[in-house]
Amino acid sequence: MKLKELMENTNKKMPHLYLDMDGVQADFFGAWAAKNNVGNYKESPILVGKTDDVAKSTMTLWVNPVEDNWTIVATKGDLSCVVGTGTHFKVMPNKKSLSI
């Protein structure tokens, strides 16, 4: 059941949930990084592609080259799911020219 359906099927007053994902209202990640003595915490997408399975979702690879962290995210419509995370990110040498 989607949140919208849940809210439409109740007479109770539901609270508002605000997600500050871009850090405009509050820098939660900056505070977390300072508390955990982490200098750089952000990942950026470097690869995107469509899957050829039944879901036909879009997969993105996000990396932080400073900290060598990575995250793989699957997205279908307005729903995204973290598929995997890890450390020790490296670009494999390739005989053909590859620019990232």
One-letter amino acid at 77 equals G
The sheet with strand 44-50 has its strands ordered as: 44-50, 58-64, 69-76, 79-86
| Per-residue pLDDT reduced to its tens digit, 43-57 | 888 899 998 888 889
**For the whole prediction, is pTM greater than 0.85?**
no
pLDDT tens string, the chain, 100 residues long: the values are 455 665 565 666 666 666 655 556 666 667 767 776 766 567 888 899 998 888 889 999 998 887 888 999 999 988 889 999 998 888 777 776 656 6
Alpha-carbon span 100 to 94, nearest angstrom: 12
What is residue 29's predicted lDDT score, i.e. its pLDDT?
63
